[in-house]
Structure 1
């Protein structure tokens, strides 16, 4: 049986289970099926985003970002209801010059790591320096022909977010960041996982820690962890913060759902676990056909819905040896992509078509990919490709990884691009751990489907972080005019006033098409009737605020 048919069979079984459970809900609902236990039993949260590592120095994926803020502290953090970051491990942080190039933070004096060590300004400096040092090591080894390819250090951490740092200094309890250029978004970077503070005595400078041990000072301590299975978190009795966040009182177990060996997707497994009653909170992604049928008024569970900040993109490797290095190829692909069909056929209308790198809800949102390409016909594109000296059909590989709809999505894009004879696309599936390493390491995919979760709630997380020096999607794209516009937005503290420059960046991105936006997510979280806090569980930066959850 083809794998796609097998998945339909599983979804059918899940759908049948849904009906049984909702009927049961009339007489007590799925709570009847929930496991028993005392009042101190953990709150069980299910997610389809498993972290690749628990070391923030090597983490640049949604699974890690979702979990790590629960285990580590940063100098700043985000709290529900506020768009601007607030102090966390710091007493205060501020720019000390009008040029926005010197950022100074005063560290609290009552912080300890989970191993009992004091949190010091030197630990903060070390945490930033090691990220940049690991990125430098990877770059040096990549350029060294004397090191065999299989022995080269491959790095997939958040160094791109820190690319604007010139130096980090300490002055007793103060940490001073000297920036290469004005950057109004730097406080947002500090508040994210890239700014997580680690114990300099417990982490190596040039190698990410891979043993699953966490030494942090966040609201939780890690009591047990099995990669791709679960993380057990206990409240940290020594947690202190300037943010006003209350220390959690209950343990939490996060269950990770990943692609099964039998081909069952992570989303399907999560849906099954939810209906078996083994989860208190469903914070992951479930199959689109299931999500389309969720009854928002069902009394047996809680539902929190919001416009998501996550976007899905088709990214291109623009290096000279790539099959999509020519701009004409990427522009033709951008013109052929039918987002309505992707959202409808592959995603069952559980997402919104997106024609901009900057999603709805952010300053600078427009529709440049629609405005520039919506009325271009196939023959016009054919002429442009031939004029660029290309042989038709243009051949390239399209890689994708996890997600129930990812296979259908890749197949739909392949069909759209190959209709008309302009392209010949080979579609390849790769396991997530392999996929993400190849995207950010050897970079040997021509094109790839990726989700993008903003590093912080600002348009720059979709423009500068993707198109700028940090090259967040590893496309290799650089454009001096875009760099100048990015610099202008970074120098403007009033983000609304920067909207015009953001729109111009977006338009130039559409012109060169190193990245093609496909859709914007809808965020849905399900929770048991005895759980509070699901409305504020998810942040705009992808963090799971597990400390917001409690049991009634």
Structure 2
């Protein structure tokens, strides 16, 4: 944990970051010539299998793990993180520093090029961030730029980010996040999303790889981008591919038969256990930042703002009753064989500022309490059983999602307080419909960067990623305030208070906290290098 020094050193190293060690951002990166994947590429191609899906290759149109995994291979960032570290380092940047309390100034490396030969300069950087805010796609990550007032490009290698909150402790990490991929301003339109195939055809790539062939959610083939000059360096493999599976059974079978080199999201707990017994395979685990929630839509849930019987107090009582009834430990043990642990807060345990307010506020000592649920509903005058439409996704969040939500349904209905209508939808459709059509639904969160703020701002700021109608002016104010708090103890206290505040409102109901798991052939090298706290999977570190 980096300590914060008093004051700000202008035109020198970036200010000390309380929750972020911003190593490598104030001068040439320690590894500008290449990350852990650098060096002469081996001749053996690498194939990774996954059940995750790509929503879009356009960074403005997707905010999901499957899409961002591909973007990390093909797009450059102003700042990125080396494999093995969550800390921002220079990618396109030659230097990055606060030059005033509200100005973060970046100097780009000179002579950068896109894979198609176009110049890659400050105009592309300004264009990329302006474009995120202009399009503001409901499935996109533009909410991460809530603290950016504007971005300027005074010359070809200088970018100045003007911020609303001074000394933002999270902004360098934001530049490494899903809102951070830089796109070619000569290819992408400024005000609309670009089709995947048009991106591929234009070779609009500036990351470690280019896409050689693209069959969406079937097979993507990559080759090295020789124009890339960033922190990741040259890949350790000559070629790589991502193969997509409709279900975990086929993913398990193909890694078991050595038809793919790595299986990465989402195998069942039973599959992981079985594959760990295979002599030809290794199970690799990394630090976990995943949270799984139920999200409530404040407009369409029972007694929501746009329902015929809208009533804010009754709507809150419904959410409180659900919080009293869920049995997280039963879900973790019975469904996931304790590969997940119960989550009683909005920030995972292990992050600075994480507390467990839900354990104290709902149920009894973390266990369900039907009497408290019944009282919450009765006190608000809610008739029972409450009819609740609940949606989940069986492919993106793994095949155990069906068992998970069947158990949630059973827990809610056990005492006659709820009548749950449980349905499932395939991921690509689910991503589009969840922001408007689902009163309550499953969501899994994979952090954009390693800071508690990333579990708070995207969910609870008024213009949030969920688009679920939640607003709280006091929460908005404290979210902004904590970003600029340079004192570690002060910021930690704010993060703790934010968790208590949103636990009272219950716009989401956290259930489980998970970890990163990959299964690979024993001849595959480098897997452990990418299962780090940046939560970015790098194809470029893999070799055999």
Q: TM-score, normalised by structure 2?
A: 0.85
Secondary structure of residue in 2 paired with 1:194: coil
Structure-to-structure mapping, 1:232-381, within 5 angstroms: 232-241=221-230, 243=231, 245-258=233-246, 266-295=247-276, 299-319=279-299, 320-321=305-306, 326-375=315-364, 377-381=369-373
On the 8 A contact 1:197/1:216 being kept in 2, the answer is no
Secondary structure of residue in 2 paired with 1:408: helix
The answer for unaligned runs of 5 or more in structure 1 is 1-38, 139-154, 259-265
Residues 510/232 of structure 1: CA separation in 2 closer, same or farther (3 Å cut): same
Measure how far apart 1:246 and its partner are: 4.2
On the 8 A contact 2:386/2:419 being kept in 1, the answer is yes
Partners in 1 of 2:369 and 2:408 — Cα distance? 17
**1:204 aligns with one of 181, 189, 192:** 189
Measure how far apart 1:496 and its partner are: 6.0
Residues 539/133 of structure 1: CA separation in 2 closer, same or farther (3 Å cut): farther
**2:470 aligns with one of 460, 469, 477:** 477
On the 8 A contact 1:163/1:469 being kept in 2, the answer is no
Which residue number corresponds to residue 141 of structure 1? none
**1:532 aligns with one of 525, 537, 544:** 525
Partners in 1 of 2:426 and 2:91 — Cα distance? 36
Partners in 1 of 2:45 and 2:279 — Cα distance? 23
Partners in 2 of 1:76 and 1:529 — Cα distance? 32
On the 8 A contact 1:468/1:486 being kept in 2, the answer is yes
**2:399 aligns with one of 397, 404, 407:** 404
Measure how far apart 1:51 and its partner are: 1.3
Which residue number corresponds to residue 433 of structure 1? 428
On the 8 A contact 1:336/1:417 being kept in 2, the answer is yes
Partners in 2 of 1:539 and 1:471 — Cα distance? 27
Deviations along 1:489-545, one digit per CA (max 9) or x if unpaired, are 201245565222111111122211111111111222122222211002234343211
Measure how far apart 1:299 and its partner are: 4.6
**1:487 aligns with one of 475, 480, 483:** 480
Deviations along 1:349-385, one digit per CA (max 9) or x if unpaired, are 2211111111122011121111111327323332321
Which residue number corresponds to residue 119 of structure 1? 120
Partners in 2 of 1:238 and 1:83 — Cα distance? 25
Which residue number corresponds to residue 133 of structure 1? 134
Structure-to-structure mapping, 1:493-508, within 5 angstroms: 493=486, 497-508=490-501
Secondary structure of residue in 2 paired with 1:424: strand
Is 2:165 the counterpart of 1:181? yes
On the 8 A contact 1:62/1:453 being kept in 2, the answer is yes
Residues 223/464 of structure 1: CA separation in 2 closer, same or farther (3 Å cut): same
Measure how far apart 1:272 and its partner are: 1.5
**CA RMSD for the aligned pairs?**
2.1
Superposed structure 1 runs of 4+ greater than 3 Å apart: 80-83, 244-249, 292-296, 322-325, 493-497, 538-542
Residues 244/72 of structure 1: CA separation in 2 closer, same or farther (3 Å cut): closer
On the 8 A contact 2:144/2:457 being kept in 1, the answer is no
Is 2:77 the counterpart of 1:74? yes
Partners in 1 of 2:219 and 2:454 — Cα distance? 29
Which residue number corresponds to residue 97 of structure 1? 100
Which residue number corresponds to residue 160 of structure 1? 143
Measure how far apart 1:468 and its partner are: 1.5
Partners in 1 of 2:505 and 2:60 — Cα distance? 32
Is 2:206 the counterpart of 1:222? no
Partners in 1 of 2:483 and 2:94 — Cα distance? 25
Partners in 2 of 1:490 and 1:234 — Cα distance? 39
Residues 295/159 of structure 1: CA separation in 2 closer, same or farther (3 Å cut): same
Partners in 2 of 1:324 and 1:80 — Cα distance? 49
Is 2:395 the counterpart of 1:388? no
On the 8 A contact 2:321/2:372 being kept in 1, the answer is no
Measure how far apart 1:244 and its partner are: 6.1
Q: 51-60 vs 74-83, which deviates more?
A: 74-83
Measure how far apart 1:271 and its partner are: 0.8
On the 8 A contact 1:74/1:193 being kept in 2, the answer is no
On the 8 A contact 2:343/2:511 being kept in 1, the answer is yes
Secondary structure of residue in 1 paired with 2:318: helix
Is 2:520 the counterpart of 1:510? no
Partners in 2 of 1:281 and 1:181 — Cα distance? 42
The answer for unaligned runs of 5 or more in structure 2 is 1-41, 300-304
On the 8 A contact 1:90/1:107 being kept in 2, the answer is yes
Count of residues paired in the alignment? 483
On the 8 A contact 2:237/2:542 being kept in 1, the answer is no
Partners in 2 of 1:365 and 1:544 — Cα distance? 25
Structure-to-structure mapping, 1:7-156, within 5 angstroms: 40-98=43-101, 101-135=102-136, 155-156=138-139
Residues 538/209 of structure 1: CA separation in 2 closer, same or farther (3 Å cut): farther
Which residue number corresponds to residue 24 of structure 1? none
Measure how far apart 1:45 and its partner are: 0.8
**2:409 aligns with one of 411, 414, 432:** 414
Residues 192/514 of structure 1: CA separation in 2 closer, same or farther (3 Å cut): same
